[in-house]
A and B are shown apart, each in its own frame.
Chain A
Amino acid sequence: MINFKQVSCCLGEQQFYYDLQVPLGQVVAIMGASGSGKSTLLNLLAGFIQPQTSSAQIFLGDLRIDQFEPAQRPVTSLFQEHNLFAHMSVFNNLALGIRPSLKLTIEEKSQVENALDQVGLKGLGSRLPKQLSGGQRQRVALGRALVRRKPLLLLDEPFSALDPALRQEMATLVKRLSRQQKLTVLLVTHEPKDALELAETVVFIADGRVHWQGSSNDFLQQKDHHIQAYLGQSC
């Protein structure tokens, strides 16, 4: 269980407050309007933002993680863009996930090759990010998530810069990898389609709070006016 207990923070004028439990081993879609606080939830979990109240607690299973530095947390993040270091080869971009000094053992090197294979980029290790397509770049980032072997994968609109076909391809890849590696995936997305296809659970956020949580099949049938307004349906 990922457990947010009374986690609040404040960015600029806006207040955020999260009290939330989601099961492990699932793909969970985080949905909501722009600026409602979807990414803030992931940033709190990854440790990029600190909660502001002392009573706030974030648990991953029994492990309390809100006091940890970002690097100590069992999570890997994937952003919409800028996941790769532009001047570094694909191989080194993955190698960073194992050791920031880039000094890998032979065994670790084969781990990197293996991960490249799994995301379908075998043989492209010496390329630079600019020599890849947008979809390939996101797959490199996914490959790094694999070599990091963290149980929690946070995806912040990772497909929104991609064409529909690539999007589909990436979604399938994420689904396959998360099953294989038994990952818990938190996916911030704008597309109800992504949620339906990938996620078992949907968390809907409005005005900086968790507004609704339930199975993804129920989500589209909700009569709640916040959700309907978001989906563009009239009540």
Chain B
Amino acid sequence: MNQKGIDKILEKHGYEDSSIIAILQDLQEEDNYLSENDLVYISENLPIPLARVYRIATFYNAFSLTPRGKYPISVCLGTACHVRGAPMVLDRLRLELGIDVGGVTEDGLFSLETVNCLGACAMGPIVVVGKDYHGQMTPAKVGSALKKYRKTSKE
């Protein structure tokens, strides 16, 4: 993000170093990930050394230090989804997208992540694509679920 944008976020949080997690969250909300420049700029403008900013950004799962896909895909691996076959759905997504968890497809359309429970267990297994929830997923449904996003992006 440009420095002006970061300044705005820092201002919103009163340049409080204890708000560092919320600051990084706001930043990521805008850009989908945290760049090296973002982290450096934040450490220069808060009384926090870069090492600590980096430590926080890597400790919490919510943060990504690499750009994510246009449609980030999250596979819920909560216990309820697991016993209903979520690992098979994840395997199929790996195969279909040709990337592993943490990766981004070459066209930048999708990235693959897992989440430990979305708390919507009745619909398990759940796959979230962008902001859309896809419930009762099976390996066979993966292809058709992704079709829509591939199409939208071509238009």
Q: Do A and B come from one complex?
A: no
Chain A residues with CB under 8 Å of chain B are none
Chain B residues with CB under 8 Å of chain A are none
